[in-house]
Structure 1
Amino acid sequence: MRGERFKAVADAIAASIRAGDLPAGSRLPTHRELARERRIALATATKVYRELAAAGLVVGEPGRGTYVRDLSGFAGLEPRRLPPEHRVADLSFNQPLAVDQGDHLRRALRRLAAEGDLAALLTQQPPGGRHADRAAVAVHLLDRGIDVPPANVLLTAGAQHGLDAVLAAIAPPGAVVAADALTYPGMNMLARTRHVELAPVRCDTTGTDPHDLERLCRRRPVVAVYLIPTLHNPLGFVLDADARQRVVGLARRHDFAIVEDATYAFLAPEAPPPLQTLAPERTFYVGSFSKNLATGLRVGYVVVPEAHLGSVTRALRTGSWGTSGITSAIAVGWLRDGTVTRLEAARRDDARRRQSVARQELAGLDYHAPSQAYSGWLRLPEDARADLAAHRLAEQGILVSTADAFATTPHTPSALRIALATPALDQLTHALGRVRETVTRL
């Protein structure tokens, strides 16, 4: 089949979609039906749909068919935002706030102004942060069961910066990194930018499937596995102790690194020990102060195995040289005076209250979340589409995240991730009621 014939078929379908002749949610012919209707080879029909999917115009759902995607821009990896004046509630992003957060910042700034050499905060910090600041984080991590010297703790400009530095250090372009089939969207972005292949591992609301990870390792040369074992984003599970031991056993048997994302781990202090404590020689433990303190603070850290300290430090230097001295000083001051401990306890109480509201408002729907999580996973009815649900909610001023934002596979479930931390409680109750009404009418 000539290339122009394939392009003509793809362009014709794309034009019909963009013109509205094939509205969002329309089911397209099967590959065989398309081949017969257009008088093209079956392989060419498959190529047409692959091209349309890459353009973001259609989505294939196993066992159901190929559907026209909603083009409003409110679904997917980088969704469109609503202007604040049109926004009723943002359930797409967790930005926990506290009523006294501004007062905490005022006190912290006054302390910085009154103590020590203020001008020193305006000088360039070393990559990985100053030793005293790294020591403060190392002491903080003792409460997580992680006992490492300050030299193995590198400060970053948030968890995303830390993940990027780790990938740069251990995963060259073309490398295979295993990750849950549904995982943190920021890792998807990083993998694409660094030309790293994310190989999906089966998972569900009960956890990562170690058997599937083992099957992958037997087939592919995996250099690392990226996991969120405690309060997974988006599925919310806490990986049990047995599964953690099995992951560590596989890592040693197949000699791959473990990248452990602990962004939400502070919400579940009763969780099994971190993977880092089970395999410190090969685990990169990535955390931040975004969810327990403030998303705008942009301070994080990576606990790095001794053998990789040099390479990760160089990656941090390449990416941004170092962290901000002012934001690091604020975070470290809050570590030392107990503010972090108090705010984490308050966040845990807040998450439980919000999850209680969510369970009440979404009762009867296929909603999954542990009681201490700041988000939940809402499976939609079998014949419903997540992109259409996101569009209809956006029309009401409510933003949500669709499953494809988290997918490492071409096929994604029809589901929404509901983030609970940002709206005020009364706004949250109202917004979740709208979610319930919208989903039941799909």
Structure 2
Amino acid sequence: MSIQQKARSRCHWLPTLDKTQDTLYLTLADQLAADIAAGRMSPGDKLPPQRLLADALGITLGTVTRAYREAERRGLTEARVGSGTRVRGTQADEPDFHHLSRASAGSIDLSLSIPIPNPVRAEQLAFSLQQIANQPDITRQALAYQPEQGNLGQREILAEWMTRHQLPVEASELLITEGGQHADYLAMQALIRPGEAVASAALTYPGMIAIARQLGLKHIPVPTDHQGIRPDALERLCQQQKIRLLYVMPEYNNPTGEHMSQARREAIVDIARRHDLLLLEDGVQYVIPSQRGTPFYRLAPERSLYIFSVSKIIEGGLRFGALRAPTNLIPRLSAALRAQCWSVPGLMGAIACRWLSSGNADTLIDWQWAEVSRRQVLLKQTLLHYETEAHAYGFHAWLKLPEPWRAVDFVAEAAHRGVTLIASDPFCVGSHPAPQAVRICVTPPAEIGIFETGIQRLSTLLREGPSHAAPLV
């Protein structure tokens, strides 16, 4: 039996190809898409190893490799180190990341990166609404159609507030958005074409991963170290292929907590300028000015975009944020926003801006930073003997699990103990292997005592190990 015959007998998926086609890899990807649509390949089905399929079809390994990459770019498949390439499922089969709590009744939720619950928020909201109601001109403006870049008065208030908090911007540089996720999506939809490459840390915000998939972008993971994205790794990737945009979270990466030094930021800016990369900085994970480095838009204003949102400092339900961009890009971004939703609702902007300008937001923020800092200290003390990474004012910590724990088992056993967590899988870009680690959010419990109970349960679970894990009685 020939090598090709042996290979064909071992392939559970064996497409028929017209080898006269010039772009054979696209033909192969098209055939896979057709077989998935026809039900001949189902979600979760594993594709043959690349060399085996190449031998079976009598084509080069490079052709199969390009076809598999094309299939992944289209969202047809998903590759994982150690488990091969599989047909992707429906949205319900996506990694289990969520922005709303799925904690069971009575469970201590440490899975969400949200502001610490506080009844003062409701009081301040009522105050802001009353002030708006007492000013008919403000109310009338808020209820009217808004310019696609956003209400000028609101942009001026936001620019003044950001500048006062050491994020200096001009109102003309801002475009009002429906929160940080919208700003992220808007930037990539307006500035990056389907099929082009964007890059981020290999472990990054799942919202960014979802956007890249939705827009048909090639999402490249960049290796990191204790300071985040490694310049040497980014340089190599830029030499190998054209990358249009780099997504960064320099203050503390979500989920790993890495903080970029000034030297690291400057090295990335140098690479971005030499290789013509846009820089998209996610500033939603806001920290106090004394703990913040120089934003990228101050280092490279001509190619940097900055995402701001009130979700972590006031409340996520307001869905109010802004995208700072070079002025030459504002028309393209405005046109994209107009095509999406015409304009951002003026009422939410009026509420958020009144909240910021009244000074009430600053009082709430000061309280929250002090409370977050207390919880981070408590977490560090409780998990002293385990490897954690966190920013002193960060909403979460990254726990690297000791052997023989596996992340999926730890999350399951923690749930049995009454603690809800998120494992590493949803944060992995492309085929980057999921580390044995979990994200612990310090902010969902309203009371620090409840938070302490939660991390004490995790400490006990770590100490006992998987073989002794048992439900809490």
| TM-score bracket for the superposition, by shorter chain length | 0.7 to 0.9
Distance 1:396 1:269 in 2: 38
Q: In the alignment, is residue 439 of structure 1 matched against residue 462 of structure 2?
A: yes
Retained in 2: the 8 A contact 1:61–1:412?
Answer: no
Q: In the alignment, is residue 113 of structure 1 matched against residue 133 of structure 2?
A: yes
Match of 1:290 in 2: 311
Deviation, structure 1 residue 266: 2.8
Match of 2:445 in 1: 423
Alignment of 1:320-339 (within 5 A): 320-339=341-360
User: Which ranges of 4 or more aligned residues in structure 1 deviate by more than 6 Å?
Assistant: 54-58
Deviation, structure 1 residue 214: 0.8
Q: In the alignment, is residue 413 of structure 1 matched against residue 435 of structure 2?
A: yes
Retained in 2: the 8 A contact 1:179–1:200?
Answer: yes
Q: In structure 2, do the counterparts of structure 1 residues 318 and 328 end up closer, same or farther at CA, with 3 Å as the change threshold?
A: same
Picking from 111, 114, 119, the partner of 1:92 is 111
Aligned sequence identity (%): 28
Q: In the alignment, is residue 363 of structure 1 matched against residue 384 of structure 2?
A: yes
Deviation, structure 1 residue 393: 2.0
Retained in 2: the 8 A contact 1:266–1:292?
Answer: no
Match of 2:184 in 1: 163
Normalising by structure 2, we get a TM-score of: 0.78
- Whichever residue aligns with residue 103 of structure 1, its letter is E
Q: Per-residue CA shift, 1:78-102, capped at 9, x if unaligned?
A: 3697766624222111221223111
Retained in 2: the 8 A contact 1:89–1:397?
Answer: yes
Match of 2:37 in 1: none
Alignment of 1:56-67 (within 5 A): 60-61=81-82
Q: In the alignment, is residue 103 of structure 1 matched against residue 123 of structure 2?
A: yes
- Whichever residue aligns with residue 439 of structure 1, its letter is L
Q: Per-residue CA shift, 1:57-77, capped at 9, x if unaligned?
A: 996459xx99xxxxxx99934
Q: Which moved more, 1:78-87 or 1:190-199?
A: 78-87
Q: In structure 2, do the counterparts of structure 1 residues 203 and 83 end up closer, same or farther at CA, with 3 Å as the change threshold?
A: closer
What's the secondary structure of 1:280's corresponding residue? coil
Q: In the alignment, is residue 310 of structure 1 matched against residue 331 of structure 2?
A: yes
Flag structure 2 segments of 5+ consecutive residues without an equivalent. Answer: 1-6, 15-40, 53-60, 86-91, 467-473
The structure that has the greater radius of gyration is 2
Match of 1:209 in 2: 230
What's the secondary structure of 1:371's corresponding residue? coil
Distance 1:212 1:77 in 2: 29
Alignment of 1:145-184 (within 5 A): 145-184=166-205
What's the secondary structure of 2:292's corresponding residue? coil
Alignment of 1:76-91 (within 5 A): 76-78=95-97, 86-91=105-110
Q: Per-residue CA shift, 1:85-129, capped at 9, x if unaligned?
A: 624222111221223111101111111111133243222222221
Distance 1:160 1:245 in 2: 26
Match of 2:12 in 1: 6
- Whichever residue aligns with residue 301 of structure 2, its letter is P
What's the secondary structure of 1:290's corresponding residue? coil
Q: Per-residue CA shift, 1:298-338, capped at 9, x if unaligned?
A: 10001110111111111112222222222111111122111
Picking from 387, 399, 403, the partner of 1:382 is 403
Deviation, structure 1 residue 388: 1.7
Distance 2:235 2:399 in 1: 29
- Over the residues paired in the alignment, what is the CA RMSD in angstroms? 3.5
Deviation, structure 1 residue 394: 2.5
Deviation, structure 1 residue 248: 0.9
- Whichever residue aligns with residue 108 of structure 2, its letter is A
Retained in 2: the 8 A contact 1:285–1:302?
Answer: yes
Retained in 2: the 8 A contact 1:390–1:401?
Answer: yes
Retained in 2: the 8 A contact 1:89–1:431?
Answer: yes
Retained in 2: the 8 A contact 1:122–1:325?
Answer: yes
- Whichever residue aligns with residue 154 of structure 1, its letter is L
- Whichever residue aligns with residue 12 of structure 2, its letter is F
Q: Per-residue CA shift, 1:32-81, capped at 9, x if unaligned?
A: xxx9xxxxxxx9xx99xx99xx999996459xx99xxxxxx999343697
Q: In structure 2, do the counterparts of structure 1 residues 55 and 218 end up closer, same or farther at CA, with 3 Å as the change threshold?
A: closer
